[in-house]
Structure 1
C-alpha cells in the first residue's frame, strides 16, 4: 500500500512540472490523504515535497514570481485546495475529517498565506471544533487539531479566532496520558502567548519583559518532553515551542544552565544526511530547525548600533511606549541578561554541551535553506568570542560555513546571475562574515585545509561581502582583512582577488574611508595586491596615465597619516612600485606639482625632515620629535633608492639630488648608516642611495 501511494505521489510530482496539467480529483485525494498520521513517515515526507511543488506551480500559473507571497498567487493556491478541505470537513467519517485537518496543518508549513485564508473561511473553525465534540475519544483528531492550532497560531491573521479555543488547549497541555497532544497544545499556547504579546507591543501594549512568569511552566513542560520522551512527534513540537520561548532572556538562562537538557536536545540532530524526516521546504517537520534556532537564540548578541542608529531606535521605542508608561515608572532599560558577557557565557555552555557538533551535523543532514541560514547565524554568534574560534575549526565549522555559502552563491555564468547574487539579504551575508572572522584569526591552511582550491573558493564570498550594498562597515572591514590574509598566500591568490569585477575600485574607495581601521585594512590589502598581482602593479606603476598618477598620489598620502600600520602598508606598496621607471616618472611629476613626495618619503626615515611648523600634533599629524620606526625606515630607504636609480637624464638627476639634499634626505641617510648594525639589511640600499647622491654632486659629510 505504501509503495502504491509513493508511486502515485511520484506521478503527481512529475505532472506538477507540466503547466498544462490540471489537478484531478483523484490526485487531490491522494495528496490530502498522504498527510494522515497513520501514513508512514516516508509517505508524509514525500507528500511535503509534492505539496511544495504544486504550490510553486500554482503561483507560477498566476504569472508571478513563486518566491513572492502576493495576493494573486495566494488566491490561486487557495482556490485549488479550499473546496477539498471544506468538503472533507463536512464529512461524518473520522478518516476524512482527519485528512482535512492534517492536510491544512501541512499547508501552513508550505504556503501559510493560502492556508490562513482557508482557516479563516466561515464555518471552517466551527467544523473543526465540531469534530472535537463528535470524536471526543479520538486521539488522532485531538492531536491533529492541536497541531493545526499550533501552526495557525504563528500567524497574526489566525490568532484572533483561535483565542476562543485557549481553554481547550490549556486542558490538553496539562493532561499527561498523551505526550503528543500535550506537546502540540503547549506549542499552540506558546505561539498564541508570544504572538499576542508581540501584536500588543506593535500598538504600545504589553511589555515583553513582563511576560516570563507565565511561560516558565511551559518551559519546564517542554524540557521534560525532550529529556524524557522519545516520540518523534512530541519531540518536534516541544523543540518548536522552546524555539519560540527562547527569545526571552530569562528562558535563555534557564536553558543554558541545564547541560543534560542541552545534550539531549543536541542529540536530536542526525549526524548524517537522510537520517531525518526533514525536507528542504519544510524545516519544521523535524527537530533540526528548532534545535538550531534555540542555539541561535541563546548565543545571539544585541546588534551594535552606531550613535545615529541608537538614537533612531530610542525614538521608535518612545513612539511605541503606552501613554502614561513613563509616569508609572516603567523602565526602558536593556535587560542585563542580554549584555555581551551573559551571551558569551551562554555560548561557552552551549559549546561545552556539544552545540558545535549539532550545528555542523545540521548543515550536513539537510538541504533546508532555513536550517542552514540559522546555523550560519549561530556560528557567527559563537565565533564572536575569539576563544571559541579554535573549537569551531576543530568541529568542522569552516567546512560547514563553506557548504552554506555554496548554497547561497551558486555557480555564476552570466551578468544577470551576478546581479542576483548582490541581492542577498543581510541574514544571507552572516555565514560569509562568520567565515571571514575565522580567516582573519587563523591561517588559511587551518581554515580551508591544504587544498588551494578551497582557499580560492573563499575569494568570491568575501568579495561579495565587501561590495554588497547592505554590508555594514564592520563586515567590509572583515572582508578586507580576510582577503588580505588570502592574498598573502600566493601570487595566484592575489591575482584572482585582483580580477574580481569592481573589487579594486571598492578597495581604493575604502582607502579614503574616515574610519581608521577600514582605511588601514584597505591599504594593507592593496599593498599585498601590488606585490602579488602583476595586473595591480601595472595599474599603479606601469602606466603613464593621470589615473595611475592619482593612485600613486593616494599611496603617498597614506604614507603621511597618523597610523603606523597604514604607513607601513602604503610605503611597502610604494617601495615595490618605485622599482618601475614609469612609476618613478609619475612620482616625479607629483613632486614637481605639489612638492610633497620627497618630504613624505624622507620623513619615513627621519620624522624631523618636515619642519615643525608643518606639524599639528592635536590633529593627528606626525611630530618632529617622533622616533623613527625600523619598518618605516627600511621602506623609506628602498623607496628613495629606487626613485633615485630610475632616472638617467643628468639634468633630472641633478634636480632630484639638490631637492633631496635641501629637504634633509642626505642627512637622514647618513643617520641610518650610523645607527644600523653591520648586518642590517637596510645598509645596502642606503649606501646605494648615498652613492647616487655623491655621483650627482652632493657632498656627503658626517
Structure 2
C-alpha cells in the first residue's frame, strides 16, 4: 500500500491512496480529503472518492490524523501518520464523522456496562456497537461481542444474540460466559440439541455453577418432551404412508409408473426404524413376496431393497422373513439372469447373515428378541442352499458368482483368534466337491453350469479361504483327500473330456491353495497328461493344459522340471500356433520360467536379451485393442513375471501407452493381482533383506552362490520410475482397484497395493499429488482389512502423509477418526523403530488439531500409555517425538488427570527432560510443562518435589540461547509464581530474579512476548510484596 500526503491549504490535507486486495490483485486509486478542525478534541470529517482500475469498488478509509504534532495520551503516542482500520462503506462516496479521541472503545464499553446494569439494554447495545467499530484488538472485540449478546438476549433478539456469542467464541473458545449466552439463545430459537452441547460444556468447566446446572436440566426435559411428541406424530404419519403404499401396490388397475413410485417409497420408509416396523407389522413381507414374482425388474429391485431395510441390524425380523420367504425363493431370485437383481439379492442375503451372526454374539438382547432361539439352524440352512446353487444348471453365471462371494465372506472366521472354525469344517464336508464341480467346468466342452469369466478366479479364492481357515494337519489332510478323490474320479474316466475337467480343477487349485494343487499334480499320470495335452490338436485341450502348466511353474521344484521338459514345447507353441489365445498363454509360460531367478541378476534362465523380447511382445499384445480381454489379461500376467528384471521395468515405465492400457485393464477383477505384482516390481516395494557384508565375503570364499542386484535397481533408478508412474496416473488406477468389491481383491492383492502406495509417498514432494488423487482415502481400508504386512505398509504410508500434510485437508470430515487406529497400531513393539517414529510424529500432528476430532480418539485407542513407553526409548529422535506427542495430548483434560494422579513419576520425567542436552527434547518437555502448569496450577506445588535441581533446570531454560526455550521457561516461571506465594519466594531468592529483570528490560519488539511475560512475573512478585518497585515509577523503569 502507498500513501502520498500533501498539504494543499491550512487544515486541509489531500491523500493519494493506492492499494490492492488480498485475494485478488485489483489496483484501486483514490483520494482522501481530510478537514481538520481546530476545535478541542479534533473532530475529523473525511470524504473519500474512489475509482477502481478493473472493477468499481468503494475505497476503505484507512488514514486518520489526530493533529499536527505528537500527543501523549495514557502512555500512548499518536502521530499524524498513525493509521486505524474502519469498516468499508458500501458507496462510492461517503461522509464519516469519527468520535473524539477521548471517547475511545474502552470508554464506550464502560459506559455500555453502566447502562446495562441500570436496565437500559438498548443504550448499552448502542455503546457496544460503537466500541466495536473503534476497537482494533481481537480480545477486546470478543468481550464486546459477548456483552452485545447479553443485550440482544434482554431485547429478545435471539438470532443476533447467537451470532454475537459465536463470534466471541471464535476468538476465545474458552469464554464460558459467551458459551452460556449462546446456549440461552439457541434454547429460545428451538435448537435444543446445540444448546444442550453448549450447556454441557459450561457445566463441565464449572460443575458448581447452579445456573449452568439448571439450564442443562431444563434442556434435558425439553428434549425428552420434543422426542416424545415428534415420535408420536411421526409414527402416525408413517403408518398412514405405509398403508397408502400398500393400497396402491395391491391395486391391479393402478398404472405401472405409480406402482414403481410406491415401491420406491417403501424403500425409503424401510430405512427408518419407524417405517420398517410399520411395514413389517402391516403384513408387508407377504406383499413383498408377491412383488418378488413380478416381471418388472424395477419393482423386484425395490422389493429386495425394502427387505434390506427390514433386516438391517434386526435379528428377530430377519428370522421371521427367512421363514416367510424361504431360502429357495431368495436363491432363485439371486440366480436369475438379471445382473442388477442378482446383486441386490446377494446384498439382502449378506445383510441377513450379518443380522443373524451379530445376534448370536450379543450377550444382552432387546425385549423383542428375548425368547428367540439361536439362529444357527437358519444359518446352516442358508449355507446349504448356497452350496446347492454351485452345480445347478438353472443358476445364472452372475448368480453363481454372487453365491461364491457370499461364501467367501461368511464361512471363514473373521479372526484367527476365534478358535471355532466349525462352519468351515461343515462347508468342506458338505460342499467342497460341489465347489470343485464348478472349478472343473470348461464351458466350451461340457453341458455344465453357466459361468462368467470371473468364476474360476472366484472359486480359487473360496478354496484358498477355506484351506487357510483349517487349524490342524488332520483337517488339511481331509481337504487334500476330498480334492484328490475328485481329480482321480474324473481322471479314471475313459473320455478325454473327463480328464480335461480334472486338469481344469487342478489349474483352479494351483491358483488358490497351491499346496493342494501341487499334491494333485503329483498323482500318477497327471503331469504327463498335461504335457501331452499341450501338443493336442484340440484348441480347448491345449488352452487348459498350457494354463495348468503356467500355474504349476510357480513352485521352484516344478519350474525346474518344466524348464527341463516343457520349454521347447512352449517355444514351439508360441512360434507355430495360429491361435492368439494359445500363443499368449505359451508366452506367459515362457515369461514365468524366464523369471524363475527372481531379482537375482546372476541367475539367467534364458540367453541375454530373450527376456526383453518376451516383454516387448507382452506390451504389444497388451496395447492391441483388437485382441479379446482374456488374451490381454494374460499379457499382464507375463509382465508380472518379467518385471523382476530391471531392464524390463525401465522399458515398461517408458511405454506410456502400455501403462495406460494396463491401468484401464485393472478395472477387470481377474487381473488385479497381476497388475499389483507388476507395480510392486516396478517400484521395488518388495522386502529386500540386505545381507551382512562379512557373510557375503564368507560365502564368496566358500564358493557359494551370492545373489547380485541389478545395476538399474539402484535407488536413483527407482525414484525416476516412481516419478514416471505418478505422471502416468498410477494413483487413480490404484484407487479404482481398491474400490473393487470382488473375491479377486484378495488380501494378497491389497498387500501389493499397500506396498506400491508406500513407495509412492516415500518422497515428501510427491505426497501432495497422491492425496489430491484420492490416495489418502484409499489407504484407510487397506490399513484395516489386509494381511498383517499389508496393514503395516498402508499405516506407514498414512503416517508419512499425516506428517507433512494438513490432516484436515488430507482426511476431511469424519475420515480423520479412521486414521488414528492405524497410526496407533504402528506403535506396536513388533514394528520397526522408523515406523514407531513416523507414527509418533503423525499422532503429534493429529493431537494438535482439536479435542473432539483427534485427541479424544487417540485417548480412546489407548495410545497414551504407548506414547509414554516411547518417552523412555534410548534413540534420541524417538524419545523427542514421543515427548512432542505428549505435549499436544496434554491439552486434553483426561491426560492432565494422569499427571495429577499421585504415585507416578510422569511429572518428574517431564521436569528432568527439561534439563537434557537434546534441544528438541527440551522444547517438547518444556512445552508440556508449560501447558500442564497453566491448565492445572496445583501441579506447580509438586515441581520442587520432583528433583532438587528444579531451580537450576528452570534457570537454564531462562538463560538458553534458544528463544523458544526462553519463552517456555518464562511461561513456566509465571505459572509457578501465580500458583503459590511460597514458590514465588523461592524463585525470587534465587538468580531467577536477576534473570527476569534483565529479560523484562529487553526491547519488546525484538524479544516478542518474552519481555512482557517476564514483566508479568515481576508484577506478581510485587503484588505478593516480595519485591518493590521504585517510588512513582514502573517496576521496569
Cα distance in 1 for partners of 2:997, 2:686 equals 56
Q: Does 1:587 align with 2:587?
A: no
Post-superposition CA distance 1:421-466 (Å, at most 9, x none): xxx63333001111111111111122112x1x21112111110112
Cα distance in 1 for partners of 2:463, 2:605 equals 42
**Is the 8 Å Cα contact of residues 301 and 343 (structure 1) preserved in structure 2?**
no
Query: Which 10-residue stretch deviates more, 686-695 or 346-355?
Result: 686-695
Cα distance in 2 for partners of 1:250, 1:319 equals 30
**Is the 8 Å Cα contact of residues 507 and 526 (structure 1) preserved in structure 2?**
yes
Q: Does 1:215 align with 2:611?
A: yes
Distance 1:559 1:233, change over 3 A: same
The match for 2:959 among 606, 611, 632 is 606
- State the match for 2:1019 in structure 1: 691
Post-superposition CA distance 1:279-305 (Å, at most 9, x none): xxxxxxx22221122112111258698
Q: CA deviation at 1:41?
A: 8.1
Query: Which 10-residue stretch deviates more, 42-51 or 161-170?
Result: 42-51
Cα distance in 2 for partners of 1:430, 1:18 equals 30
Q: CA deviation at 1:52?
A: 4.8
Post-superposition CA distance 1:93-139 (Å, at most 9, x none): 34323222222111111211111001012211223344455xx2111
Q: Does 1:396 align with 2:779?
A: no
Superposition RMSD in Å: 3.4
Q: Give 1 or 2: higher helix fraction.
A: 1
Q: CA deviation at 1:528?
A: 0.4
Q: CA deviation at 1:82?
A: 1.9
Q: Does 1:682 align with 2:1013?
A: no
Distance 1:35 1:461, change over 3 A: farther
The match for 1:297 among 670, 673, 681 is 681
Post-superposition CA distance 1:53-90 (Å, at most 9, x none): 46655x5xxxxx6166x654443222212233234334
The match for 2:760 among 382, 385, 403 is 382
Distance 1:211 1:504, change over 3 A: farther
Q: Give 1 or 2: higher strand fraction.
A: 2
- State the match for 1:97 in structure 2: 499
**Is the 8 Å Cα contact of residues 223 and 261 (structure 1) preserved in structure 2?**
yes
Matches within 5 A, 1:185-196: 185-195=586-596
Cα distance in 2 for partners of 1:76, 1:509 equals 47
Where 2:785 maps in the other structure, the secondary structure is helix
**Is the 8 Å Cα contact of residues 456 and 508 (structure 2) preserved in structure 1?**
no
Cα distance in 1 for partners of 2:687, 2:426 equals 49
Where 1:631 maps in the other structure, the secondary structure is helix
- State the match for 2:818 in structure 1: 457
- State the match for 1:567 in structure 2: 922
- State the match for 2:733 in structure 1: 358
Cα distance in 1 for partners of 2:436, 2:678 equals 37
- State the match for 1:524 in structure 2: 884
The match for 1:634 among 957, 963, 967 is 967
The match for 2:641 among 235, 244, 262 is 244
Matches within 5 A, 1:100-499: 100-132=502-534, 136-163=536-563, 164-175=565-576, 177-195=578-596, 197=597, 207=603, 213-228=609-624, 230-270=627-667, 276=668, 278=669, 286-300=670-684, 312-318=691-697, 321=700, 323-324=702-703, 334-367=709-742, 368=745, 369-408=747-786, 425-449=788-812, 451=813, 453-466=814-827, 468-499=828-859
Q: CA deviation at 1:681?
A: 3.0
Q: CA deviation at 1:315?
A: 4.6
Where 2:944 maps in the other structure, the secondary structure is helix
Cα distance in 2 for partners of 1:142, 1:562 equals 73
Cα distance in 2 for partners of 1:11, 1:657 equals 80
Distance 1:160 1:248, change over 3 A: closer
**Is the 8 Å Cα contact of residues 495 and 534 (structure 1) preserved in structure 2?**
no
**Is the 8 Å Cα contact of residues 225 and 235 (structure 1) preserved in structure 2?**
yes
Gaps of 5+ in 1: 60-64, 271-275, 279-285, 409-423, 608-627
Q: TM-score, normalised by structure 1?
A: 0.79
Cα distance in 2 for partners of 1:291, 1:52 equals 17
Cα distance in 2 for partners of 1:645, 1:657 equals 13
Gaps of 5+ in 2: 1-391, 412-422, 1030-1034
Q: CA deviation at 1:245?
A: 1.6
Distance 1:577 1:18, change over 3 A: closer
- State the match for 2:284 in structure 1: none
**Is the 8 Å Cα contact of residues 480 and 522 (structure 1) preserved in structure 2?**
yes
Q: CA deviation at 1:238?
A: 1.8
Q: TM-score, normalised by structure 2?
A: 0.55
